Chains A and B, each alone.
Chain A
Amino acid sequence: MSAPVVEFAGVARWFGTQPVLQGLSFRVEPGQVYALLGRNGAGKTTALRILLGFLQPHAGRATVLGHDCTALPPAVRGRIGYVGEDHRLYPTMTVGDAVEFEAGTRPSFRRAFADQALQRCGLPADRRIPRLSRGQRAQLSLVLAVASNPELLVCDDPALGLDAVMRRELLDALIDLLADTGCAVLLSSHFLHDVERIADRVGILHDGALLVDATLDDVKRRVLRCAWSPRAGSSPPSGPHVLRTAPRRDGHDLTLLDAPPELFAQLRATGELTPPVPPSLEELFLDLAGPERPGILREPLDALAAPAGGGR
């Protein structure tokens, strides 16, 4: 297997006395699109800032492109593209100036690609930065990051505050980038439908560590949800295949992992069972990271992270 583009091993970080990351571990393989999900404040931005070397981890080790994130040589930084949620650009520049500036600072910058991409987005070169809409600023940031041919693109919620049309355009730009270069992408996002289309692998960050670290295909194949209405006297199932049981009217909502046929047979025998279906990413997210979810079992979900039966 080739070396991972990003590797976090037991990364911890406090802000004052408050722990934000508590042993975060994951890796991004070359060419992979990894989506880091989590509620507001879960630690996504902190993780990305550590990756980019803006913050020091207090424990554990983070590496990117084979280098420790706490000591990234400038040349390695140049191989990483970054799109932040606030799309910081110099307000005195025009779109063309921004391209010029970026081309001057990064030797790998592809001028022709940038010009073409901006034309496709309908961004005129003489438009001043302050006159761009939020969506146009996001597009410009992405084009600038992508044009320098990064080996890793890091996007911190790039679609935040964009409408559905602009989000799709951003997605298109990202798809073009992937088709062109096959670079690895690490993104955080709250738009789970977009993530479902584009991510190879998802990590759900909660309380500073990953609850889920699995390919989307694995999630769809191995996790099933169903509603179960027990006959009098039957108690809800438990065990390693039951990720979560939540009370509902007349019974329980069950989230199951790798459930064997015997478990379904038993549930059918002791109550009424709706046909089990894989959860959408949003349902899985709400199940696991939503408020007041005492039923989370860590162990079996960690098993999703193991290569068994999954990965590529």
Chain B
Amino acid sequence: MLIRIDPRSPEPLFEQVVFAVKAAVAKGTAKAGDRLPSVRELARDLAINPNTVVRAYEALERDGVVVRRQGAGCFVSDRGSDLAQGEKKKQLLDLMRRAATEAFHLGFTAEDVKKALGQGLDEVQFEGKRRQP
């Protein structure tokens, strides 16, 4: 699993690590059961504070993306988020709203947004790891 971040990006480092892992799973480059790098390995690879990696892994565990096995490390989980269906739908809608709003302010049309979303969807393997809602 390749995890890349940009320390100079405006996004907090731990969110970048979280997203990088989520992206790897969504694109199928990391499969259920794959072991994530250890905290020390990843901290050294990225030259960032191990605390940051720990926080990212905790967030990923909360989101149901990874599971931690005592002493063995973190693994890509084979099941989806534990959130209730209604809550998940709400989160999805929020995400879409935010994307639409930002796109509006960047000056794009609804057509542009649909096309871009299609492109994003193509990059993700929806039948990969996740249980379908």
Contacts and interface: CB of A to CB of B under 8 A. Distances in A.
Interface of A: 31-33, 168, 171-172, 175-176, 178-180, 182, 193, 196-200, 216-217, 220-221, 277-278, 280, 312
Contact of B40 (A179, A196, A216): A179
Contacts of B13: 197, 216-217
Given A196-B8, A197-B7, A280-B8, A175 B50 contact: yes
Contacts, number: 59
Contacts of A193: 7-8
Given A179-B39, A179-B40, A33 B10 contact: no
Contacts of A33: 49, 51
A312 B55 CA distance: 10
Nearest to B8: A280
Interface of B: 7-8, 10-14, 39-40, 43-44, 46-52, 55
Contact of B12 (A171, A176, A199, A217): A217
Given A217-B14, A220-B12, A31 B51 contact: yes
A181 B92 CA distance: 40
B7 A196 contact: yes
B47 A197 contact: yes
Contact of B10 (A176, A199, A278): A278
Contacts of A178: 43, 49-51
Most chain B CB within a 10 A radius of its CB, from A193, A196, A198, A220: A198
14 contacts: A33-B51, A175-B43, A175-B49, A178-B49, A179-B50, A193-B8, A196-B8, A197-B7, A197-B48, A200-B51, A217-B13, A220-B12, A221-B12, A278-B10
A172 B44 CA distance: 6
Most chain B CB within a 10 A radius of its CB, from A172, A178, A278, A280: A178
Contacts of A198: 47-49
A16 B133 CA distance: 71
Given A171-B47, A172-B47, A199-B49, A220 B10 contact: yes
Contacts of A176: 40, 44
A193 B8 CA distance: 8
A108 to B, nearest CB: 21
B8 A200 contact: no
Contact of B47 (A168, A179, A200, A278): A168
Contacts of B12: 216-217, 220-221
A165 B22 CA distance: 31
Contacts of A172: 44, 47
A32 B54 CA distance: 13
A220 B11 contact: yes
Contact of B49 (A197, A277, A280): A197
A173 to B, nearest CB: 10
B16 to A, nearest CB: 11
Nearest to B14: A217
A175 B10 contact: no
A57 to B, nearest CB: 29
A200 B44 contact: no
A72 to B, nearest CB: 27
Contacts of A221: 12
Nearest to A174: B49
Contacts of B40: 175-176, 179-180
A221 B11 CA distance: 8
Most chain A CB within a 10 A radius of its CB, from B10, B11, B55: B10
B81 to A, nearest CB: 23
Contacts of B11: 220
Contacts of B48: 175, 197-198
- Sorted nearest first, the 5 A-B pairs with minimum C-beta distance are A179-B40, A278-B10, A217-B12, A179-B50, A178-B50
A277 B10 contact: yes
